[in-house]
Amino acid sequence: MFESVQQDERWGRYSVLGYRARSEHAYPPGTPALAMLNDDTAALENAETLAGRLSQSLVGYIAYDAGHLPNGIPLWPNEGLTARLMRDCTVAVFDHLELTMTIAGRSNNAIDRCAWEMTHGPDFDAMPAPDVFAEALFAEPNINDEAYATKVARAKTLLSAGDCESVVLARTFHAPMRNADALDAYRALRLLAPSSYLFFLDFAETPFAEGLVIAGASPGTMLRVEEGRRASGEIDIELPNGAPAVDYLRAAFPAPALTGTPKKRAMQIIRQLEPGPRGIYGGAIGYVSADGTADFAIGMRTIVSAQGAFEVTAGAAITSGSEPAQAAEQTKKEAQVALAAVRAAQDAAERREAKEEAKRKRLEAEEKKKAEAAAEAGAEAEAGTEAGAESGAEAESEAEAAAESSAEA
């Protein structure tokens, strides 16, 4: 799902919903993800409508760690997939200006099924307004404040060498899902942080990759290219006219906003000081189409759900004048909105469970009441049968007595 909120706080013109992808491209660790993406983009089919183009686009994410190989940075031993992209989705595009919905898919059956499901979908429970200051239950960072401050001090020492001006050091906060729904986290996040890039990506578990959900509200554009012509992005890029969209992405990736300046040296320091792969954080989320259109957000203010836990990664820009303790607090501030959305999802799960428990108890009480009524009815019927039997016996005795009296006479 892709949505957008403009700077004047109006919702963007289009909302995009895609599902039932027929194929997925998963790039293994250590592979040249951007080169592979370029090859896969060349094989895409074009279409006339926006819904048709998005149906045939590659939609997903490119991990920050995909930037290691082209920059000569050592890979992590536990590095995950460098990219994961869906293709051949059934897509519905909602045009909020024209008040229309356009559906595209690989077959008429897929389109008809989508049209039917749009009017027969499940109902969602209403969510109370999320609290931006709420704390996610049992959230813990992978690096505690003291250890993070130590890494900041080490970064300042490296910066003092003069070959790097700034570096963004990140840490990840983990919180158990506790039966929460990642979609509820997205529903809360889009209210807490309406942004130019709102996205919800649900990757199914496959033989090659685990199930993964990404919910985000990113304010930053990694790259936007329209029909082979660069429209916007975080940095200036000069390439020949008609250059493939992936060439622009390769030049921009990863974004300096979450690495530092100069980028390559900052990435080297990040690899030295952070405890493991970044994954989505600092990477790119979006799509690329056959006509040269591409739109990717910077992977920030994002919630990742996998293996029963929510993950929120946030960083602080470190310079030679940074205070380590203040930098640690800054990462908490950067993560707060996403963690508040996690708490909203956790609370929603608790409300569902309480509702289900109340329903279960109500059904149990109704069944008990029915059983008691049935038992009472059975007892009354049995009592009636016994009374009838006694009346019959008395009548029989009276008849016998009458017969005997008649015989004596």
The answer on pLDDT for 235 being more than 70 is: no
Inside any domain, residue 401: no
Whole-number pLDDT of residue 240: 73
| 406 in any annotated domain | no
- Extract the runs of DSSP E, i.e. beta strands, from 96-206: 100-104, 140-141, 166-176, 197-203
CATH number at residue 252: 3.60.120.10
Supply the pLDDT for residue 400.
Answer: 61
Percent of the chain with pLDDT over 90: 74
> What's the structural domain count of the chain?
1
Answer yes or no: are the C-beta atoms of 53 and 289 closer than 8 Å: yes
- Residues with Cβ within 8 Å of 32's Cβ and at least 6 positions away in sequence, in order, are 69, 70
Average pLDDT over the chain reads 91
Which pLDDT tens digit goes with each residue over 371-395?
Answer: 888 888 888 888 776 666 666 556 5
Helix, strand or coil for residue 358? helix
> Is 344 part of any domain?
yes
Please state, in angstroms and as integers, the Cα–Cα distance from residue 309 to each residue in 136, 146, 222, 314, 340, following that order.
12, 24, 27, 16, 15
**Is the pTM above the cut of 0.95?**
no
Given a cut of 90, whether residue 142 has pLDDT beyond it is yes
Q: Is residue 179 part of a domain?
A: yes
pLDDT at 401 over 80: no
Q: Is 157 part of any domain?
A: yes
| Type of residue at 94 | F
Residue 153: inside a domain: yes
φ and ψ at residue 338, rounded to 5 degrees: -65, -40
Domain assignment present for residue 394? The answer is no
- Identify the top-confidence range among 31-35, 46-50, 253-257, 338-342: 338-342
pLDDT tens for 319-365 read 999 999 999 999 999 999 999 999 999 999 999 998 889 999 999 99
Q: What is the pLDDT of residue 399?
A: 55
End-to-end Cα, the chain, rounded Å: 104
Contacts of 283 (CB under 8 A, 6+ apart): 61, 62, 63, 64, 65, 66, 254, 299
* φ and ψ of 124, to 5 deg: -100, 140
SS3 content of the chain, % helix, strand, coil (to 5): 40, 25, 35
SS3 302: strand
Tens-digit pLDDT profile for residues 250-293: 888 998 999 999 999 999 999 999 999 999 999 999 999 998 89
What distance in Å separates the CA atoms of residue 112 and residue 101, rounded to the nearest whole number?
Answer: 13
Which residues are bridge partners to 303 per DSSP? 215, 312
Report how far Cα 93 is from the mean position of its chain's Cα atoms: 20
Decide: helix, strand or coil at residue 158: helix
Confidence at residue 52, expressed as pLDDT on a 0 to 100 scale:
95
Residue whose C-alpha is closest to residue 348's, from 191, 183, 212: 183
Residue 395 pLDDT: 56
Predicted pLDDT of residue 208: 86
Residue 82, pLDDT above cutoff 80: yes
Q: Is residue 385 part of a domain?
A: no
Residue 70 clears pLDDT 80, i.e. is over it: yes
Which structural domain range is residue 54 located in? 2-355
pLDDT for the residue 228: 65
Q: pLDDT confidence of 226, banded at 50, 70, 90?
A: confident
Per-residue burial over 238-274, b = 16 or more CB atoms within 10 Å of its CB, e = otherwise? eeeeebbbbbbbbbbbbbbbbbbeebebbbbbbbebb
